[in-house]
Chain A
């Protein structure tokens, strides 16, 4: 009998993992980069890395279901004659008509309105569906200016000047030709069927000094009634927040790299910008340094999923959060009921991210008349409202446990971090220690 040397177990490279290998093969076969939505998918320091301490001998809790815990927030109190008052500190982020179907936009409006919060237009102008069904609608002012007009500006409840998005700070957008229906083409003043490029910077201003003048123009056109938000991607949150305040913003929106609804190159999504968690404290610090914390409101978005995320963001000093991907999932995106169709597209429920291609089995990110019938705007709006209600109740549960009668009374002192990275980013102690990395010279 011959002795065989024992083989080693085949070992795959951590560097050249299965995904990396598949991407190299795909690139070699096609000669083009991969484009997708859904934001950064890599594991990042996130709200899961923070924990609330809860009440103890020195902190007493409030009674669940009995003692009041306020959730309301006012946005735009700095200059606007008509600030927005929201019942909950969770808003629906900007997603364009064109990217989303008309029924999906209507559902977002319905769900937000049922919940007493606002929804937001996107890079495609304002549709009647969303204006009609959104009690409070934020109108985005984007580089492309598709569909921009003074009438819609005046019938908006707030204006959001979009400088960047978390998925692609510094990047523009592309709506592929197959999603350009007659209606989308008309709203964007472009021929049907061609790719529509959304510019990466505004056509008529550059830099913070110009932005100040642009904001003045928007205020003058709307008679200083509307709150003006400035939205930035998670690039340089301290300076971007400070400059937005200097330029006259009522509200600053900071969108971290998990912000997902913008389609762009995979390499861009995964390698440009900062995680949401890393953006919050610098943005809050900028407001505090300027004496503007709680005077200029801060909205943070990118990977908000549940009431714990909401509570943690607020504890770090945020005034409200915004959801995009989670709202689409509540509407029915990536639902396993469409698994066979996801498989036919070469993917699986939960991983589908080719929202830009217009073949969404769930009927949300499409302009296909047959597919979009799958979204019942009333039922989908109800699901979004349910989800927003659950998030709010969850956040209240945590706040009461921390002894807070308002979500906005949560504070960094209520938090600890599970990892050194999260402790450094959030500026809260590593659990079990009093060590905040980067503070006091350590």
Chain B
């Protein structure tokens, strides 16, 4: 395995370093999938991702993976337990269908960030594009910046926290997911309404901010949005809402 440009962090953990200028994506993902419980290869570093798609997908062991650069589509897809940090920006579908673990994007994220995620924590330190958290099913997503239109479309469960603004049609056709937005919401989608921030929501939000490493921001600065639950069972009198 080529071990070039070994970082300090990597050396400290006797980590494995994958340079995608030298090794293939296939070799990287296969090595990650070959990990077994209790492996001492707990720290991984990926160099020169250069917008590759599907970097570190399907990892199911509790290892740390630092990706040094920007990635293409579906980075960390279906992550199940790993702590993955992208030291750059991420293309569409980052962390799609995550089961558990964490993903941190130091830059911005493109469309569909955290789509259909079942669990774990996705933190985007920059902005996220449209459809952030689409069809989310239990994942927690914290975006330091703004999110684009149609975010949390058909969001089923989990929490989406936005420190900045949200675009048009936030939470369209939302089910039981909770949305917390600190800035302006351009518009709400069908069946999505502003809701009261009760003490349990303040507590929940504080926990999410803590887990995402957000400081200097109070839960009381956010508004909560969720489902009005008027479209839960089909009713012809609601046809105009569809």
Query: Which residues of A does B touch, CB under 8 Å?
Result: 30-32, 144-145, 148-151, 153, 174, 176-177, 188-191, 193-195, 197, 199, 203-205, 210, 213-214, 216-217, 220-224
Contact A204 B116 (CB under 8 A): yes
> A195 near B118 (CB under 8 angstroms)?
no
Quick check: A191 and B176 within 8 Å, CB to CB?
A: yes
CA–CA, A150 to B100, complex, Å? 11
Could you pull out 17 A-B pairs where Cβ atoms are within 8 angstroms? A144-B135, A149-B80, A149-B99, A149-B118, A150-B97, A188-B156, A191-B176, A197-B173, A203-B131, A203-B134, A204-B74, A205-B93, A213-B53, A217-B74, A217-B93, A220-B29, A220-B58
Does B215 interact with chain A (Cβ within 8 Å)? no
Interface string of B53-90 (1 = CB under 8 A from A): 11001101000000000001110011010000000000
For residue B137, give the distance in angstroms from its CB to the closest CB of chain A. 4
Known: A145-B116, A203-B115. A195 touches B232 (CB 8 A): yes
Shortest Cβ gap from B190 to chain A (Å): 12
Please determine whether A204 and B54 come into contact, CB atoms closer than 8 angstroms.
no
**Interface residues of chain A: helix, strand, loop or mixed (majority):** loop
Which 6 A-B residue pairings sit nearest by Cβ, starting from the closest?
Answer: A221-B58, A194-B232, A204-B112, A145-B116, A204-B93, A189-B137
Q: How far is the CB of A408 from chain B (nearest CB, A)?
A: 33
Q: Which residues of B contact A210 (CB under 8 A)?
A: 73, 92
Interface residues of B in 170-198 (CB under 8 A from A): 173, 175-176
B30 within 8 A of A: yes
CB distance from B55 to the nearest CB of A (A): 9
Contact A174 B135 (CB under 8 A): no
Q: Who on chain A is nearest to B177 by CB? A: A189
Does B78 lie within 8 Å of A150, measured CB to CB?
Answer: yes
B157 on interface, CB distance cutoff 8 Å: yes
Bound-complex Cα distance A30 to B234 (A): 13
Tell me which of B29, B78, B234 contacts A149 (CB under 8 A): B78
Known contacts A145-B135, A213-B74, A220-B29; is-contact A204 B92 (Cβ 8 Å): yes
Min CB distance A33 to B, Å, is 9
A35: nearest chain-B partner, CB-CB: B234
- By beta carbon, the residue of chain A nearest B116 is A145
Please, how many angstroms separate the alpha-carbon atoms of A199 and B112 in the complex? 15
Question: Which of B26, B134, B233 sits near A177, CB closer than 8 Å?
Answer: B233
Q: A145-B135, A216-B53, A224-B26 are in contact. Are A203 and B58 (CB under 8 A)?
A: no
> What's the Cα separation between A259 and B74 when bound, in Å?
32
> How far is A177 from B153 in the complex, measured between Cα atoms in Å?
20
CB distance from B108 to the nearest CB of A (A): 17
Given A153-B78, A223-B29, A194 and B73 contact (CB-CB distance below 8 Å): no
A223 contacts B93, CB within 8 Å?
no
- Residue numbers in A under 8 Å from B154 (CB-CB): 197, 199, 203
Could you tell me the distance between the alpha carbons of A8 and B129 in the complex, rounded to whole angstroms?
70
Residues of chain A within 8 A of B54, CB atoms compared? 213, 216-217, 220-221
A31 and chain B: residue at smallest CB distance: B236
Contacts of B157 in A (CB 8 A): 189
**Interface digits, B30-60 against A, CB 8 Å rule (1 contact, 0 not)?**
1001000000000000000000011001101
Residue B138 is within 8 A (CB to CB) of chain A in the complex: yes
Asked if B140 lies at the interface with its beta carbon under 8 angstroms from chain A, I say no
A204-B134, A217-B54, A223-B33 known; A195 vs B116 contact (CB < 8 Å): no
- Do A148 and B233 touch (CB < 8 A)? no
In the bound complex, what is the Cα–Cα distance between A176 and B235 (angstroms)? Answer: 12
Is B135 a contact of A213 with CB atoms below 8 Å?
A: no
Which residues of B have CB within 8 Å of A177? 232-233
Neighbouring B residues of A190 by C-beta, 8 Å? 156, 175-176
CA distance A11 to B86 in the complex (A): 74
Instruction: Give Cα distance in the complex from A191 to B58, angstroms.
Output: 28
Q: Is the CB of B93 within 8 A of A191?
A: no
Seed contacts A189-B138, A197-B173, A203-B131; 7 additional CB < 8 Å A-B pairs: A149-B99, A150-B80, A203-B116, A205-B92, A213-B72, A213-B73, A221-B29
Chain A proximity mask over B156-170: 1 for CB below 8 Å, otherwise 0: 110000000000000
List the B side residues contacting A199 at CB < 8 Å: 135, 154
B58 contacts A204, CB within 8 Å?
no
- Which of B26, B29, B58, B236 touches A150 (beta carbons < 8 Å)? B58
CB-CB under 8 A from B96, the residues of chain A are 204
User: Across the interface, which residues of B come within 8 angstroms of A216, CB to CB?
Assistant: 53-54
Q: Once the chains are docked, how many angstroms separate the CA of A217 from the CA of B173?
A: 28
A110 to B242, CA, bound (A): 41
Q: Which residues of A contact B93 (CB under 8 A)?
A: 204-205, 217
A174 to B235 alpha-carbon distance, docked (Å): 13
Instruction: Give the contacting residue for A189; candidates B25, B153, B156, B234; CB below 8 A.
Output: B156
Assess A203 versus B112: contact at CB under 8 Å? Given A150-B78, A213-B73, A220-B57. yes
Which of B116, B138, B156 is within 8 Å of A148, CB to CB?
A: B116
Which of B77, B134, B175, B236 sits near A191, CB closer than 8 Å?
Answer: B175
The docked-state distance in angstroms from the alpha carbon of A213 to that of B93 is: 11
